[in-house]
Structure 1
Amino acid sequence: MTLQEGTPGAQYVVTGIDLPLELERRLEALGLLEGSRVLVLEKKRRGAVIVKVRGTRFALGDGIVRHVTVRE
Structure 2
Amino acid sequence: MTLYEGKTGRKYRVESMETGEEVTRRLQALGLIEGTPLTLLNRKKRGALILYVRGTRLALGKDISSHILVKEELAE
Question: TM exceeds 0.5?
Answer: yes
Please give the alpha-carbon distance, in whole angstroms, between the structure 2 residues aligned to 1:34 and 1:58.
16
SS in 2 for 1:4: helix
Structure 1 residue runs of 4 or more that deviate by more than 3 Å after TM superposition: none
Q: CA deviation at 1:53?
A: 0.5
Which residue does 2:13 correspond to in 1? 13
In the TM superposition, what are the counterparts of 1:1-72 in structure 2 within 5 Å?
A: 1-72=1-72
SS in 2 for 1:64: helix
Structure 1, unpaired ranges of 5+: none
Please give the alpha-carbon distance, in whole angstroms, between the structure 2 residues aligned to 1:16 and 1:45.
26
Identity %: 50
Please give the alpha-carbon distance, in whole angstroms, between the structure 1 residues aligned to 2:65 and 2:21.
15
SS in 2 for 1:46: coil
Q: CA deviation at 1:32?
A: 0.6
Q: CA deviation at 1:66?
A: 0.4
Please give the alpha-carbon distance, in whole angstroms, between the structure 2 residues aligned to 1:35 and 1:62.
21
Q: TM-score normalised to the size of structure 1?
A: 0.96
The count of aligned residue pairs is 72
Structure 2, unpaired ranges of 5+: none
